[in-house]
Structure 1
Amino acid sequence: MQTITAEHGCPARLGASPTPAGVHFAVTSADATRIDLCLFEPGSARETARLPLPGRRGDTWFGFVPGIGVGALYGFRADGAYDPARALRFDAAKLLVDPYALALDRPFVYHPALAAPASERLDTAALVPCAVVADPPRDAGRLVPGRPGLTYELNVRGYTQRHPGVPEHLRGTLGALAEPAVLDHIAGLGVETVELMPIAAFLDERHLVRLGLTNAWGYNPICHMAPDPRLVPGGWAEVRRVTEGFHARGIRVLLDVVLNHSGESDRIGPTVSCRGLDNRAYYRHEPDGELVNVTGTGNTIALDREPGLRLAVETLRTWGECGGIDGFRYDLAPVLGRTDEGFRADAPLLRAIASDSVLATMIHVAEPWDIGLGGYQVGRFPEPFLEWGDGFRDDVRRFWRGDRGTLSGLATRLAGSPDRFDPAARQASDCVNFVCAHDGFSLLDLVSYADKHNWANGEENRDGHGDNHSWNNGVEGASEDPGIRAARARDVRALLATLFLARGTPMLVAGDEFGRTQGGNNNAYAQDNPTTWLDWSGADLDLARFTAELAALRAREPALHLDRFLVGTDLCGEPDVAWLAPDGSPMVAPEWTSRGEPWLGLRLAGGEEGRAVLAYLNAAQASVTVTPPPGRWRLLLRSDAPGETLGTAPLTLPPRAVVIFGAEA
């Protein structure tokens, strides 16, 4: 018969901590009256032991089980009051997964019984994964700390599901990313950092199950520290193998983490982990017991207090120490700084990240908005955070769509968005520039659809953003017309060139470099199918080569990658930037609003490190004649016809194109 004791004392870590003699278990709950540790037979839902945790120190319940070790299967049951009006949701019939689990024996699968009220006393042991006692090494290496540079946002499953160079049994898994064909493509683009979309164990939303759909993005986690068995069947060894593969190519790896909410959803959501252990402590609640929902998912984790704060810090440290992850992108990041008084840049979790000996040396990228009051916090995150810049996305799209009055906004975004990020306190690379992200249109769809087409999501096209600043070049959706296809290809290259021309950290969505499409779906989170699986057989390799050329040009020319805002300051005896009028002279203030032509010229100083660069962006449908500023200029790139030259001054700028020159001595 299995025994449990408190004689060994309270362990330092929550979760399961194996030793040669047995396993320590610890879990936190302020309001439970009893917590049982349940042990299971491998390969079945048969419970072999139910052992009340005998020790308690503060809110931590603990016990030591001798004679078991790594590989043992376990879960918890918590007893106490069931009173949702007081935010108490205890139900001893519910098997609960350890929030600190490092491995699961199978994926989560939604079932209505998981959300049954306590009065029904439906036992859920057969429906919930067991946590697996694990002890991965915590000595994973990371690359030398630094700025992320060109960042490549990547959906793990969709990236290789149809990749011909990946063995079939690996397709759609994290391990596929370590295959030579995959690494060669990513490294060949000039990518400096790969940003993996979530890979922590997650649960499909209940409405997707009713619709016969599944979550393709993973932004619905239950166990923040356990790799999802569907995406990472090899567990922590697979995570480490992949990060080592990228590190060998000099590429950093960021992980998208979802610390703001869990897949336990709203008040009628499933009880599978934190809700059953300590609902009142883990989640934020209104005075009437209703869950606070500033995430749009039904709940919000309270990260300004225990136990949410401790869970978040341990999650980040674990991915770094066990997996070799170099940093994180934070979904709905204002939640990290939310307190009872609203968002604070000195909130407990933000302070903890900055002061932690491991986390302070890692990369941290915030998605700086949520849907709550005061949720838009672009430019307000403290060190060491970088932030997504949605202003770049919107202003660049509006300019290339041909909207009037967009010159000033475009120039501000090319300058690194100094209106959002204080030049006295921030670096230009703190702003992550993107034209497209996973959430929204693909780059090709942006120039092919004036409206979203989300019918396959089962919500009558109501979901997703309605105002995308997109255009279709005359025909909505796919077209076989050579002229329309050429116009769309030209617009895609112009958008890419604008991204690489701007100060800041450029981010590209995987597949946009070779023309991925989602058929106009701008909220494809529910499409785990060819909608989000990249079509490698149809890849536009010329576009991929052009993207690599842009990345190489940016890396080669200091005038394009200097990490400083463009604010007109002196740089080795000349202004860092000159915004140019048609005759080559600096543009004066009235021209920013009075000039109707959608084009912009700028001269960038290279400082002591390099030469000056001259660039023109012409969003007009017709050619524009301009006179370059004094000096000798050599064509470096034209987006409309890569490799072709232009005539001498005065220059005739091609329509819908970016043209870049370098100064000659």
Structure 2
Amino acid sequence: MARFPDRLEPGKPYPVGATWDGLGVNFAVFSAHADRIDLCLFDPSGRRQVARFALPECTDEVWHGYLPDAKPGLAYGYRAEGPYDPKSGHRFNHHKLLVDPYARRLIGDLKWSDVVYGYRAGSPRADLSQDRRDSAAAVPKAVVCDTAFNWGEDRRPDTPWDRTVIYELHVRGYSMRREDLPPHERGTFAALCDARSIERLAKRGVTAVELMPIHASIDDHFLVKKGLRNHWGYNTLAFFAPQSTYLSDGSLAELQTAVRRLHAAGIEVLLDVVYNHTCESDELGPTLSFRGLDNASYYRLVPGDQRRYINDTGTGNSVNLSHPRVLQMIMDSMRSWVDTFHIDGFRFDLGANLGRESAGFDPGSGFFDAIRQDPVLSRLKLISEPWDLGPGGYQLGNHPAGFAEWNDKYRDSVRRFWRGDAQQCPELAARLAGSADLFDHHKRRPWASVNYVASHDGFTLEDATRYAEKHNEANGEGNRDGHNENFASNWGVEGPSDDLAIRVLRGRTKRAMLATLFCSLGTPMLLAGDELGRTQGGNNNAYAQDNEISWIDWGKAAEPDNRDLERFVARLAALRRNHPTLRASQFLHGRNEIAPNLQDIEWFNEEGTAMQPSHWQDPERRLLALRRAAIVNGGTVEASLLMLNGSTADHDFRVPSTNNLHWTLALDSSDPNRVPGALESEIVRVPSHAVMLLIGQLNAS
């Protein structure tokens, strides 16, 4: 057994967290309102407390102490003494062991029972009562870490935004059904860095993986009681630690290796991060970390009723980013992921919430300002989910320069057009052009619009063509959860169908939506498995389904239709990569003449003449052509002509007349195996529910 001194040395208030310096470990933790904070040490298993020390110093509201001779691997937690006065916002309870907010790794699982609550569960006084039982046996422990790693010649890919193709991926769901991997590696970072996984991503044209939350999180109590888990992970316990179940060997080096190998293949790694709330829920939630350390500082409380939490996130609480120490914690977390794991960017869950100040959402909030002035973070790929559940929470297009945003209007517009809804041409035209109506301000670029037709939240692409209604019964909420309007069509049969005509139509619709996605200005994002026909059985809110509902079925990847779809996606990515007119880095407004009678962007009807107000106003119009042009390769003029037929019948399109443009048929989404070739006629038959793409070059003679 390790021998410990009688007391800690003073140590330093910075850096916050547990920092090993080769001779010992410095512990520092913020609390503005605690009267005392104790450091509790545990045996390597985390089950038995072996020592307890008061942190001897508090400097600028940071408590600190130094333990000589301590080494990485030491398990620890905190206890905080102070007032238990929920009506004043304080919920200190020294009987509850607390996870260090700066913990780099956790061991042990949360064991749900009444002991993890700071109040007596079932008491008529509810959270105004106090529970005096020790929670240490039920709470995960932080572990002191040495984060050093041999990065060799690792270099960030730094893929330009206009060449970026994002692939949204769940670490566990991506590989749990990979039978070619050892069982203990499935669902972990070891599977993610498998050479075959990386090769497959590269062949699809993926330039960035966006990993769904990998911060250490817990399963909600109400889910555990139903035998379910919080599969998505939007329930953070520790902002600096990776989810332990994603580490097959328990080592941080496993994630570091995955990032290094992805970088070597030219693939960036982005993290979906949840800084807007924590796993401690509302006033009736557990006391696991932030609540017990300084509830009044870490959380936004209702003015005049500090017993209650402002709940603009819909999860019970909102992190108080207006507090400088809390904002510092979030900035330190991001820098830690960049420094320790070489992460290339972040996608911010409920990003509008992070921009809230006392008067509501503010694009000049402290959070946005702190990132934009940071010499490291400001140069990363930064993506916001531009909404939350609070007043004025929908802020699509209103984020500051430097941020991209998930564009749900794009998703809905594409789905509605290809479903055959009326009055969709004007809306689709705006989305194809990079949503300039939303993003063309403050010198922002088209890449600010992250375009997608499916994401983790909602139907998969396959299910958007299989189901007209959600089927969330497995969630145990009476099918009341999830979005009611998915702008989806089952094309005649709800669910799987053996009807060949229906299957063909579904396949056409999927390919048309994918072709639209890759041919739109903005940043395309593909949901993992959509290129393989992944279905969730109509579940559009599979957050609690850590099972075959959510896991990618790799056995189906070998089916002919799915092999063809995967090749089709790779072909789309290659077309986008090779033709600048499909991914312009500037907004186009039809005001620049690239060559005589050839503007940078123009819209046409099926007759090959310019769209007129009467065409745009026709609610039943489902035919549209888009021509874009640019000077490429030092002087060559390239043009692309995108022809979309969202109707139920085949239609002839006349190619708009241009001088000396020689057109090649590059893509026919109705026939993914059609070989590209020179255009033989100015009349092109575009099949129903299909996209055709022509690429033209100007004949210099």
Q: TM-score range by the shorter chain?
A: over 0.9
> Match of 1:75, as an amino acid?
G
Tell me what 1:190 maps to: 205
Q: CA RMSD in A?
A: 1.7
Alignment of 1:492-531 (within 5 A): 492-531=510-549
SS at match of 1:38: strand
Q: Distance in 2 between matches of 1:655 and 1:423?
A: 36
Contact 2:91 2:118 in 1 (8 A): no
Q: Cα 1:436–1:103, aligned 2, differ >3 Å: closer, same or farther?
A: same
2:295 matches 1:295: no
Q: Which moved more, 1:272-281 or 1:301-310?
A: 301-310
Match of 1:652 in 2: 685
1:260 corresponds to which of 276, 290, 303: 276
> Quick check: 2:175–2:551 contact (8 Å CA) kept in 1?
yes
Q: Is 1:135 aligned to residue 162 of structure 2?
A: no
1:242-300 alpha-carbon deviations (Å, 9 max, x no partner): 00111000111101110000001111111100010001100000020110111111110
Return the alpha-carbon distance in structure 1 between the equivalents of residues 537 and 113 of structure 2.
31
Contact 1:151–1:505 (8 Å) recurs in 2: yes
2:602, 2:626 within 8 Å by CA — same for their partners in 1? Answer: yes
Question: What is the deviation of 1:335?
Answer: 1.8
Offset, 1:355: 1.5
Distance of 2:453 and 2:111 partners within structure 1: 35
Alignment partner, residue 171 of structure 2: 156
3-state secondary structure, aligned to 1:596? coil
TM-superposed deviation, 1:44: 4.5
Alignment correspondent of 2:126: none
Aligned match of 2:291: 275
Give deviations 1:507-530, integer Å, cap 9, x for gaps. 000100110000000000000000
Aligned partners of 1:663 and 1:109: how far apart in 2?
63
Query: For 1:34-183, what aligned pairs fall within 5 Å after superposition?
Result: 34-117=36-119, 119-137=130-148, 141-148=154-161, 149-183=164-198
Which SS does the other structure have where 1:496 is aligned? helix
Corresponding letter in the other structure for 1:165: D
Letter in 1 for 2:515: A
Query: Does 2:589 align with 1:556?
Result: no
Name the amino acid aligned to 1:533.
Answer: W
2:240 corresponds to: 225
Q: Distance in 1 between matches of 2:196 and 2:489?
A: 34
SS of the residue corresponding to residue 36 of structure 1 reads: strand
- Name the SS for the 1:230 alignment partner: helix
Deviation at residue 9 of structure 1 after TM alignment: 4.1
- Superposed CA offset, 1:106-150 (max 9, x none): 243433321251622121111111110112028855515343510
2:663 is paired with a residue whose SS is strand
Counterpart CA distance in 2 for 1:526 and 1:44 is 28
Which secondary structure state, in structure 1, belongs to the residue aligned with residue 321 of structure 2? coil
Name 2:665's counterpart in structure 1: 635
**Match runs of 1:495-644 below 5 Å:** 495-539=513-557, 540-573=562-595, 574-594=598-618, 596-609=620-633, 610-630=637-657, 631-644=661-674
Name 1:3's counterpart in structure 2. 5
Mapping for residues 179-578 of structure 1, pairs under 5 Å:
179-233=194-248, 234-287=250-303, 288-289=305-306, 290-423=308-441, 425-539=443-557, 540-573=562-595, 574-578=598-602
DSSP-derived class of the 2:525 partner: strand
Q: Which moved more, 1:62-71 or 1:459-468?
A: 62-71
For residue 576 of structure 1, what is the amino acid of its counterpart?
Answer: D
Q: Is the 8 A contact 1:107 1:230 kept in 2?
A: no
Equivalent residue letter for 2:485: D
Within 2, Cα distance between the matches of 1:402 and 1:473? Answer: 11
Q: Could you report, residue by residue, the CA deviation over 1:330-388 in whole angstroms, capped at 9, with x for unpaired residues?
A: 00011221111211112112111111222122111111111111211111212321111
CA distance in 2, matches of 1:295, 1:18: 36
The range that moved more, 377-386 or 25-34, is 377-386
In structure 1, how many angstroms separate the alpha carbons of the residues matched to 2:326 and 2:593?
47
**Contact 1:407/1:592 (8 A) holds in 2:** yes
What letter matches 1:143 in structure 2? Answer: R
The letter of the residue matching 1:136 is T
The alpha-carbon deviation at position 450 of structure 1 amounts to: 0.6
Q: Judge which range, 449-458 or 98-107, deviates more.
A: 98-107
- Look up the SS of the partner of 1:420 in the other structure: helix
Judged with a 3 Å threshold, the aligned counterparts in structure 2 of structure 1 residues 552 and 206 are, in CA distance, closer, same or farther, namely same
Supply the distance in 1 between the matched residues of 2:335 and 2:460 (Cα, whole angstroms). 33
Whole-Å separation in 2 of the counterparts to 1:487 and 1:81 = 65
Contact 2:96 2:136 in 1 (8 A): yes
After superposition, what is the alpha-carbon deviation per residue over 1:185-205, rounded to whole angstroms, capped at 9, x for unaligned?
101001011101111110111
Q: Does 1:32 align with 2:59?
A: no
Q: Is the Cα contact below 8 Å between 2:104 and 2:241 reproduced in 1?
A: yes
- Runs of 5+ consecutive residues of structure 2 not aligned to the other structure: 120-128
**2-side partners of 1:116 and 1:213: how far apart?**
24
What displacement does 1:604 show?
1.2
Judge conservation of contact 1:415–1:502 (CA < 8 Å) in 2.
Answer: yes
Hey, what's the Cα distance between the residues in 1 that align with 2:545 and 2:177?
Answer: 15
**2: CA distance, partners of 1:548 / 1:146:** 18
Kept in 2, the 8 Å contact 1:448–1:488? The answer is: yes
1:661 counterpart = 2:663 = no
Q: Residue 599 of structure 2 aligns to a residue in which SS?
A: coil
- Matches of 1:110 and 1:417 in 2, distance apart? 46
* CA drift at 1:422: 1.9
Name the CA distance, whole Å, in 1 between partners of 2:76 and 2:456: 35
- Which of 80-89 and 568-577 deviates more? 568-577
Paired with 2:472 and 2:673, the residues of 1 have a C-alpha distance of 38
Work out whether residues 557 and 606 of structure 1, in 8 Å CA contact, stay in contact via their aligned partners in 2.
no
Cα distance between partner residues in 1 of 2:582 and 2:104: 43
**What's the secondary structure of 2:685's corresponding residue?**
strand
For residues 552-597 of structure 1, what are the alpha-carbon distances to aligned partners after superposition, in whole Å with 9 as ceiling and x for unaligned?
Answer: 0111111101212232121523311111122211111221012623
TM-score between the two structures when normalised by the length of structure 2: 0.92
Alpha-carbon contact 2:581-2:630 (below 8 Å) kept = yes
Any conservation in 2 of the 1:37–1:77 contact (CA below 8 Å)?
Answer: yes
d(CA) in 1 for partners of 2:548, 2:172: 11
Residue 147 of structure 1 contacts residue 363 of structure 1 at CA under 8 Å; is this kept in 2? no
User: Which TM-score applies when normalising by structure 1?
Assistant: 0.97
User: How far is the alpha carbon of 1:215 from its aligned partner?
Assistant: 1.1
Q: Which moved more, 1:61-70 or 1:607-616?
A: 607-616
Q: Secondary structure at the match of 1:476?
A: coil
Q: Distance in 1 between matches of 2:114 and 2:229?
A: 16
Letter matched to residue 644 of structure 1: R
